[in-house]
Structure 1
Amino acid sequence: MRKTAAAVAGLALALVLGACGDKPADNGAAPAPGDSGGLNALFGDAQELVRAASFKADTAKTAKFTMEMTAEGQNVTAKGEGRFDGPNTAMSMTMSMPGAPDAMEMRTIGTDVYMKMPEGQGAALGTDKPWIKLSLGGDDPISKTFGAIMTKSTEQSDPRRSLEMIQKAGKITKSEQTQLDGQPADHYWVDLDLVKMVDMMLEGMPAEVAGKAKESMQGKSVVIPMELWLNAEKLPVQVTMDMGAVSQAIAESGGAPASAPGNAAEGKVTMKYTDWGAPVTVEAPPADQVGEIKIPK
């Protein structure tokens, strides 16, 4: 049971830190500073940056996104679209992973999460259906554990989550006005305090899972470099995070030696956002294609 909890904790930590849904704390929803449609003076204070960008993102509510994550020579890619609107949240995402013959598809509608497993893998979960369903508020053991993890995974697709990270754990170290994909953009470099992030991101997780994840970070002082690009409307268009420090901290917590100089752990996550405010439609799979998870005894 302890090994299972440790494994789940590792998965939880990877999910909650691996990408960019609760919106940032309400700061009065004041109009965004410099709201003139073009690039303006750069923010020097993280709180002012978050207030401006989260106001815009909360107004737009929808976006399309892509994600690319690299770690130890492996590459994971995903694409999807989401409506980030409290109880009306909905998201669809397709993810490709090394060693998997087919892409994994996930759809979130309110508190229901549907996952389309690679062909043949459903049998390990006791179903011959292509889709499985998790309830984010379910009382069964699977939903209690993995439902909470999937909630966090869904939240990370919400670009406002990256803003919340900056609000609660970040410090702006540098900024510039530049071009991204041919469009003007404000570029910010931010240092994130990992311990503060873990405390924030594990809220609502099962106690044993959260405890293991926090234990792995205890006594560590780890900074995660983040870069954020905002367009002329102050909407996030790209977020990158250097996950090498996280990978190293997790490895050391499991008893692995520290990386030798010049051979540090590597890992990077890049999220891109487009089509802000465009309509998003996410539908549940046909009922006869959805199976129930059964744990082998």
Structure 2
Amino acid sequence: MRTSVLAAGGVALALALTACGGDDSSGGDALTGGNGNGGAFSDLSSLVASAQEETAKSSSSKFTMEMSMGGQTITAEGEGRYSGDETAMSMTMDMAGQSMDMLFVDNVMYMKMPEGMNPDPSKPWIKMTAEDAAAQGQDFSQMSQQSDPTKTLEQLQQAGGEIKNTQETEVNGEQATQYTIELDLSKADGMLGGDEQATASIPEGTMIPVELYLNGDNLPLRVEMNMDAVAEAVGAPTGGKMVMNYTDWGTPVDIQAPPADQVGEMPSF
């Protein structure tokens, strides 16, 4: 059980610290954002460049996540700071009735395990370094990049993502442009935490839809990913979905590592 919680935590971090040319069929009024000419982006490179610029200006946000797959639901909420080497994330995740706190700061991930699952209760936090992640089959550098939502956008581009449709809508009362993007999951190892084995098991040409919502300043508001193709590829029940919501862009966040005397080493399983 401990192993499954740790694995789920890594995947949740990879997805959460979680996003294209084709037809542009925008509807409704144009936003102040978009491509600068009163319309939506039609290619991913321009979209990514703008989103990166605006994210660098705002540098922080709050977020929520809900992911369902294989009959299991994972929810999370937290906040992140997106600033190169100073990137940090704080998140509380709930899975199967168990709650786990996660911190990513100073290129180290800390996990506060559910009650009864920590081998040393006097040290409620467990530390995961790059070496620990490698032992769990995860690429730590790619996992850590997921705390910046613009990295997700870059990975969509690397996976051959294409914009299939755009339309004007609202997200939590805020006007937004919705981009429907299709990508090849077999090329999206970065979005799976660098898990090459998991990616290799997915047939080439396994296309999945991603819905990306940007506000008028070209900042991400929501990312929705249909997980059915992932489930089918690994033989799990379909009906899965992942939704990330970003709010409070530009609000300062204070994320600190736990006190050293409360941190234990990653256990061996």
Q: CA RMSD in A?
A: 3.1
Structure 1 residues 84 and 289, CA gap change in structure 2 (3 angstroms): same
Equivalent in the alignment of 2:226? 242
| Residue pair 1:66, 1:80 contacting (<8 A) in 2 also | yes
User: Could you tell me how far 1:227 is from its partner in structure 2?
Assistant: 0.3
Q: Distance in 2 between matches of 1:107 and 1:282?
A: 8
Equivalent in the alignment of 2:24? none
| Residue pair 1:20, 1:159 contacting (<8 A) in 2 also | yes
Q: Distance in 1 between matches of 2:13 and 2:234?
A: 14
Of 164, 189, 203, the match for 1:173: 164
Which structure has greater helix proportion? 1
Of 97, 110, 129, the match for 2:95: 97
Equivalent in the alignment of 1:184? 175
Match of 1:68, SS state, is strand
Equivalent in the alignment of 2:106? 110
User: Could you tell me how far 1:143 is from its partner in structure 2?
Assistant: 4.5
Q: Which runs of 5+ in 1 are unaligned?
A: 1-6, 24-33, 257-263
* 1:61-119 deviations in Å (ceiling 9; x for gaps): 2111100111233221101111111111111110000142xx10011112221110011
Q: Distance in 2 between matches of 1:95 and 1:12?
A: 8
Match of 2:188, SS state, is helix
Residue 79 of structure 2 aligns with an amino acid whose one-letter code is E
TM-score, reference length from structure 1: 0.74
Aligned length in residues: 252
| Residue pair 2:40, 2:177 contacting (<8 A) in 1 also | yes
Equivalent in the alignment of 1:119? 115
Q: Distance in 2 between matches of 1:11 and 1:117?
A: 12
TM-score, reference length from structure 2: 0.81
Structure 1 residues 66 and 107, CA gap change in structure 2 (3 angstroms): same
Identity of counterpart residues, as a percentage?
41
Pairwise mapping of residues 25-174 of structure 1 onto structure 2 (< 5 A)? 36=32, 40-100=38-98, 103-123=99-119, 128-136=122-130, 138=131, 142-146=132-136, 148-149=138-139, 152-169=142-159, 170-174=161-165
User: Could you tell me how far 1:156 is from its partner in structure 2?
Assistant: 2.9
Match of 1:64, SS state, is strand
Structure 1 residues 157 and 267, CA gap change in structure 2 (3 angstroms): farther
Match of 1:92, SS state, is strand
